[in-house]
Amino acid sequence: MSGALKEVRDRISSVKNTQQITKAMKMVSASKLRKAQQAITQMRPYADRLDHMLKNILSNLDGDGGTVYGVERPVTKALIVVVTSNRGLAGAFNTNINKEAYNLIEEQFSEVEAAGNLDFLFVGKKGADFFKRRFSKSNFNRDYVEIANSPDFEEIAEVANFLMEAFKNGEYDSIQVIYSKFKNAATQTPIAVQYLPVAKPTELAVAKKEKKETSNSDYIFEPGKVELLEHLVPSILQTSLHKFILDTVAGEHGARMTAMDKATENAQEMLGDLKKTYNKARQEAITKELAEIVGGAAALEG
């Protein structure tokens, strides 16, 4: 019985050590979450406003003029940009992003992938680790994996410039970005967006026909429409990619904080069960010893 007691004591000690680690990780993630949440909260209105501005301008072009980044071509080669974290212990956070990307490929790019014309660019190691085991024919770009650790705008703009240049040169006909949109510490939603070509504002055009008094804007373009778009669109695309990555970083810390909080609670429940098991085994050991003593005394008297 002493061996069983020692085993339970060892397990209790192990669970306590694990609980201390999960508590510490929760506190670290909470601290990082505050900074990441502030960053995305400040960035999102600016990025959304730029995107709205672009759609307004495109909706008023009436077919004349446009941008090289909006040219639609038959999709014979595509690039999937997967934005995940570099570290795990964040629950199903990275798994959900990878599943969203995988479903997108199955639904829209299965033929492109079968032809060996589907490439990947990874921001974050967890996406790279997931897809390299599943798409052996594809080309994997891991040059920007580490950006997930420190989402600096200059480095992200470099990635955006690479994507724009690749699309402009015809290396890819479609570029999709899969990331996790941050809502709060407990809610992160994986989203797939068409990064290039720039989506045409079809919904806005319909709304304009229905509400001419509110959406028919008289724009004066200075310089010309094409020149304006060629400068505006790259800036918006850089900002959008920055927002995607900031969203994912905030989501990562929120998911890890939630996961570590739950792990700490589970450890506490496990400790309670182990202590009950230990006390029960200890009582059984004491009872057995008493029975042996009583039995020995009775044998001596007899």
Whole-number pLDDT of residue 60: 65
Whole-number pLDDT of residue 198: 86
Whole-number pLDDT of residue 108: 95
The fold of the 27-258 domain, in CATH, is: Pyruvate Kinase; Chain: A, domain 1 (3.40.1380)
User: What are the structural domain ranges in the chain?
Assistant: 27-258
Spatial separation of the C-alpha atoms in residues 131 and 153, rounded to whole Å: 26
Packing angle between helix 93-108 and helix 225-301, nearest 10 degrees? 130
Whole-number pLDDT of residue 171: 95
Strand partners, 122: 82
Whole-number pLDDT of residue 302: 60
Tokens of 236: 């918006």
Whole-number pLDDT of residue 2: 66
Q: Are 188 and 181 in contact (CB under 8 A)?
A: yes
Q: Are 146 and 159 in contact (CB under 8 A)?
A: no
Neighbours of 198 (CB within 10 A): 24
CA angle 144–145–147, rounded 5-degree value:
70
User: Mean pLDDT for each consecutive 10-residue tract of the chain (302 residues)?
Assistant: 79 93 94 92 89 73 67 94 94 96 96 94 94 86 89 93 95 97 92 89 50 54 75 90 95 95 94 89 81 76 66
Interacting residues of 90 by C-beta distance below 8 A, sequence separation 6+: 252, 255, 256, 259
pTM given for the model: 0.84
